[in-house]
């Protein structure tokens, strides 16, 4: 069983606080920014309250079986696998995973499989389009993989919201934490996340298990199999900015840029709160060129609200292929 302390977790992670958006300023008539990318939100130099901790290291991996529960750690033998009561034994502390091998993410187990030259009927098209790798319903012994990891959550995190976030897993992923089913995702190309706040053990070890089933693919090409992108543990206060919801729309006219700034504030707490949102605009070399503050807004418990403001940048450095200037918006409450 691999246990990773919070110190080790932080040593291999990137902690971020307020979202940062990088955006171009383009001439009038050209396309302007609509949303920020994932890498921008994890830019270095930001400070808590939001943390994103990389969970790529110290996983255990074992093959399951797509058609035989006895060879799939008992998965599917009963109806308790998806119970909310925390009885899924593979995701509990007593489970012995010493027979599983250690892997780091991103991980694609299909790359490790032998080539299979199956030229018979339907097998010809299926094997060729997926790189002649033994994936699919005809290969149940190599189409399911299990991942398991242990991580610590400090007692001081009580009251925060904590998510596990997957940048991508191919293809049908089912996730348990501390014996509890927390969710599933069957899209191999989209990021997904689940809130773990109510099933975590604060001040102790926690266990996450992911079953990935690559029996069915989405494309007529090699897709691979497994958790093939990064995994993050994200922590935020109950009052926080939405993950994908900070937006800058820029219009450049007559030598100046007008910025339409918007974000969503979410309230996962149990009482209404009053909030304002501040934006700081940095030029391509990091100098502050504009600031803005939204009007005060009330966010109901278990609710959200949009906060907006505008800013103006004079004599902006425009973006082009030859001079790809990017401005940065720092958003905070």
Q: Does 105 lie in the same domain as 80?
A: yes
Query: Among residues 280, 206, 229, which one has the least CA distance to residue 46?
Result: 280
pLDDT tens digits, residue range 266-298?
A: 999 899 999 999 999 999 999 999 999 999 999
Which of 60-69, 75-84, 248-257 has the least mean pLDDT?
75-84
CA distances for 70 relative to 65, 74, 84, 161, 297, angstroms: 8, 5, 23, 37, 55
The token pair at 53 is 């901790």
5 found inside a domain: no
Q: Does 167 lie in the same domain as 26?
A: no
Q: In whole numbers, what is the pLDDT of the chain averaged over residues?
A: 84
pLDDT tens digits, residue range 195-249?
A: 999 999 999 999 999 999 999 877 778 888 999 999 999 999 999 999 889 999 9
Is residue 182's pLDDT more than 80? yes
Is residue 129's pLDDT more than 90? no
Q: Does 221 lie in the same domain as 76?
A: yes
194 found inside a domain: yes
The token pair at 220 is 């007529």
Q: Does 143 lie in the same domain as 269?
A: no
Q: Does 258 lie in the same domain as 143?
A: no
Residue of higher predicted confidence among 206 and 83: 206
pLDDT of residue 132: 82
Query: Among residues 231, 241, 191, which one has the least CA distance to residue 13?
Result: 231
Task: Write down the pTM of the prediction.
Answer: 0.80
Please give the Cα distance from 11 to 5 (Å, whole number): 10
Q: How many domains does the chain have?
A: 2
Residue where one domain finishes, among candidates 190, 212, 236: 236
Beta carbons within 8 Å of 169's beta carbon, 6+ residues apart: 185, 188, 210, 212, 226, 227, 228, 229
Cβ atoms 243, 236 nearer than 8 A: no
Please give the Cα distance from 133 to 143 (Å, whole number): 10
The token pair at 239 is 């009052």
pLDDT of residue 333: 85
Please give the Cα distance from 15 to 225 (Å, whole number): 28
Burial class (CB in 10 A: 0-12, 13-18, 19+), 153: buried
Q: Does 326 lie in the same domain as 270?
A: yes
pLDDT of residue 162: 96
Please give the Cα distance from 10 to 27 (Å, whole number): 42
The token pair at 256 is 């100046």
Q: Does 256 lie in the same domain as 220?
A: no
pLDDT of residue 15: 30
pLDDT of residue 18: 52
Is residue 20's pLDDT more than 50? yes
Identify the domain containing residue 96 by its residue range.
53-236
pLDDT of residue 208: 97
Is residue 128's pLDDT more than 70? no
Q: Does 216 lie in the same domain as 99?
A: yes
10 found inside a domain: no
The residue-averaged pLDDT of 125-145 equals 81
pLDDT tens digits, residue range 236-269?
A: 999 999 988 999 999 999 889 999 999 999 999 8
The token pair at 27 is 């001439």
State the DSSP code for 122. Answer: H
């Amino acid at each position: 069983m691999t246990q990773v302390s919070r110190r080790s977790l932080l040593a291999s992670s990137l902690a971020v606080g307020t979202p940062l958006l990088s955006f171009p300023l383009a001439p009038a008539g050209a396309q302007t920014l609509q949303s920020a990318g994932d890498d921008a939100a994890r830019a270095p130099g930001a400070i808590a309250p939001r943390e994103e901790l990389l969970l790529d290291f110290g996983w255990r991996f074992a093959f399951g079986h797509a058609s035989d529960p006895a060879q799939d750690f008992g998965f599917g033998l009963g109806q308790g696998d998806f119970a909310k009561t925390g009885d899924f034994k593979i995701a509990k502390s007593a489970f012995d995973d010493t027979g599983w091998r250690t892997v780091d993410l991103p991980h694609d187990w299909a790359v490790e499989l032998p080539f299979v030259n199956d030229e018979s009927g339907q097998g010809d098209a299926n094997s060729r389009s997926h790189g002649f790798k033994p994936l699919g319903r005809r290969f149940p012994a190599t189409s399911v993989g299990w991942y398991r990891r242990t991580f610590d959550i400090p007692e001081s995190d009580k009251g925060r919201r904590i998510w596990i976030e997957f940048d991508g897993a191919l293809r049908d992923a089912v996730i348990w934490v501390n014996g509890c089913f927390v969710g599933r995702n069957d899209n191999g190309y989209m990021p997904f996340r689940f809130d773990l706040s109510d099933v975590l053990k604060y001040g102790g070890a926690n266990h996450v298990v992911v079953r990935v089933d690559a029996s069915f693919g989405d494309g007529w090409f090699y897709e691979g199999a497994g958790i093939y992108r990064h995994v993050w543990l994200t922590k935020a206060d109950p009052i926080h900015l939405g993950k994908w919801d900070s937006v800058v729309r820029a219009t450049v006219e007559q030598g100046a840029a007008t910025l339409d700034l918007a974000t969503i504030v979410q309230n996962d707490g149990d009482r209404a709160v009053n909030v304002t949102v501040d934006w700081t605009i940095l030029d391509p070399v990091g100098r502050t060129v504009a600031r803005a503050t939204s009007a005060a807004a009330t966010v109901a418990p278990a609710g959200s609200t949009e906060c907006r403001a505008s800013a103006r940048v004079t004599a902006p450095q425009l973006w082009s292929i030859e001079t790809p200037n990017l401005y940065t918006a720092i958003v905070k409450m």
